[in-house]
């Protein structure tokens, strides 16, 4: 007569000998692109302070993260900025941080996993600014689209309640103004 625990013991020993791979979560490539952009931008801020619209060299350092249309909008905005300056008119986009709600920039950030939207993917960015012994926190959204098989930044939506001049706007809506002056 067979022992009742023998089949159970054999099954357990087989599981230990041949472990089953647990389902691995899918890689969040869109989120990874957003993280790399903000890491690259933070590094650029430390080495070559960006104020307002990035200059050509600064833009070249971060534009690989942008969809081609956003990249073009930046170059058109630089041209518009130059046109305004050469006509002696008020020059737009010369102050503040254009990549977050907070014109003072950020000290650190974290990004949540991205979610699917009509445009592609979207991820919440949690920013933190430590300045003069005070900490300020806010959230913005980064919108990503696939271009040529790669996730790229389509836009950044500003959501900080204290940023009244940017509330309800996005990066594209702020810089895509022609004529600017």
Asked if residue 29 lies in contact with residue 116, where contact means CB atoms within 8 angstroms, the answer is no
Helix, strand, coil % in the chain, rounded to nearest 5:
35, 25, 40
pLDDT given for residue 168 in this prediction: 87
Lowest model confidence (mean pLDDT) among 81-95, 111-125, 134-148: 81-95
Report d(CA 161, CA 163) in Å as an integer. 6
| Closest by Cα among 151, 153, 154 to 29 | 151
**pTM listed for this prediction:** 0.83
Mean of the per-residue pLDDT values of the chain: 88
How far from each other are the two terminal CA atoms of the chain, in whole angstroms? 95
Range 27-175 has CATH code 3.10.450: yes
Neighbours of 141 (CB within 10 A): 18
């Amino acid at each position: 007569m067979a022992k009742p625990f023998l089949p159970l013991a054999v099954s357990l020993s087989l599981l230990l000998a041949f472990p089953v791979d647990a389902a691995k979560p899918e890689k969040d490539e869109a989120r990874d692109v957003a993280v790399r952009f903000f890491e690259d931008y933070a590094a650029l801020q430390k080495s070559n302070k960006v104020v307002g619209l990035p200059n050509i060299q600064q833009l070249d350092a971060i534009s690989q993260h942008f969809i081609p249309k956003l990249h073009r909008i930046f170059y058109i905005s630089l041209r518009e900025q130059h046109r305004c300056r050469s006509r002696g008119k008020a020059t737009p986009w010369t102050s503040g941080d254009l990549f977050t709600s907070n014109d003072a920039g950020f000290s650190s950030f974290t990004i949540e996993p991205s979610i699917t939207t009509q445009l592609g993917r979207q991820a919440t960015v949690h920013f933190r600014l430590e300045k003069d012994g005070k900490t300020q926190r806010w959230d913005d959204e980064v919108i990503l689209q696939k271009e040529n098989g790669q996730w790229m930044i389509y836009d950044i939506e500003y959501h900080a309640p204290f940023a009244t001049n940017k509330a309800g706007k996005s990066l594209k809506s702020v810089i895509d103004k022609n004529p600017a002056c």
